Amino acid sequence: MGVKKIQQTLRDSALARWIVLVLVASMMFFAYMFVDILSPLASLLNDVRGWNQGVFGTYASGEYLLNVFGFLILAGIILDKMGVRYTGVLSASLMVVGAAIKYVGISDWFDANHIVWLNSWWPSMPGSAKLAMFGFMIFGCGCEMAGTTVSKILAKWFKGKEMALAMGIEMSIARLGVYAAMWLAPVFASRFALPDGTQSVVAPLLFSACLLVVGLLNFTIFTIMDNRFDKQLVAIGEATAEKDPEDEFHASDLKQVFQSKMFWIIALLCVLYYSAIFPFQRFATNFLEETLAISNAEASGLFKWFPILAMVLTPFLGLYIDYKGKGATMMLLGAVIMIACHSVFAFVLPAYPSKMLALVTILVLGVSFSLVPASMWPAVPKIIDEKVLGSAYCLIFWVQNIGLCLVPLLIGKLRVWTGGYLVPMIVFASFGVLAFVLSFFLKAEDIKKGYGLELPKKKK
Highest mean pLDDT among 43-47, 379-383, 427-431: 427-431
Q: Check residue 252 and give its pLDDT.
A: 65
- State phi, psi for 196 to the nearest 5 degrees: -85, 5
Q: Is the pLDDT of residue 439 over 50?
A: yes
Between residues 285 and 120, the one the model is more confident about: 285
Q: Check residue 132 and give its pLDDT.
A: 93
Q: Is the pLDDT of residue 397 over 50?
A: yes
pTM value is 0.76
Q: Check residue 79 and give its pLDDT.
A: 85
Q: What is the mean pLDDT of residues 419-430?
A: 94
CATH topology of domain 13-449: Growth Hormone; Chain: A; (1.20.1250)
Mean pLDDT computed over every residue of the chain:
85
Q: Check residue 238 and give its pLDDT.
A: 67
Q: Is the pLDDT of residue 61 over 80?
A: yes
